[in-house]
Amino acid sequence: MGDTSNRLAGTASVTTNGVTIMVAGQFKYSPSTVKRETLTGMDRVHGYKEKPSAPYISCQVRDSGGTTVADFNGMTDVTVVAELANGKTIIGTGMWTVESQEVDSEDAVFDVRWESFSVVES
């Protein structure tokens, strides 16, 4: 096997409650818990406002024979673990899916986004 010490991107392996899912692409995550927006006036920058933001993990999933879209739609209180090409492990606990999942049957894919109170990277 070749030297992968400089590999930074390109692969993601994801499990939900210990079950491996097929990641087709578009893996994203955010451990951020706040969203800030700059407040400006007609005279200058006045400061910023800050609101809570839900950390998330999202990806495009392949609709394989062992996968049911309804199962993803029903997910609440799940643990999502991702192993990335750069060696990072992303863990979301107590996660739930948001939005409805719609399958694009041409490539057998659908988008899933889990949100929670906590997503950590190590």
**Mean pLDDT, the chain cut into blocks of 10 residues (122 residues total):** 83 95 97 98 98 98 89 97 97 97 96 98 96
> What is the predicted pLDDT for the residue at 35?
98
> What is the predicted pLDDT for the residue at 66?
77
> What is the predicted pLDDT for the residue at 69?
95
Q: What is the DSSP letter of 69?
A: H
Q: Residue 42's CB: how many other CB atoms inside 10 A?
A: 4
Q: How far apart are CA 86 and CA 114, in angstroms?
A: 22
pTM reported for the whole predicted model: 0.91
> What is the predicted pLDDT for the residue at 5?
81
> What is the predicted pLDDT for the residue at 1?
62
- Give the residues across from 85 on adjacent strands: none
- Give the residues across from 95 on adjacent strands: 78
Strands 23-30, 109-115: pairing is unpaired
Separation of CA 64 from chain center? 19
Q: How far apart are CA 30 and CA 113, in angstroms?
A: 11
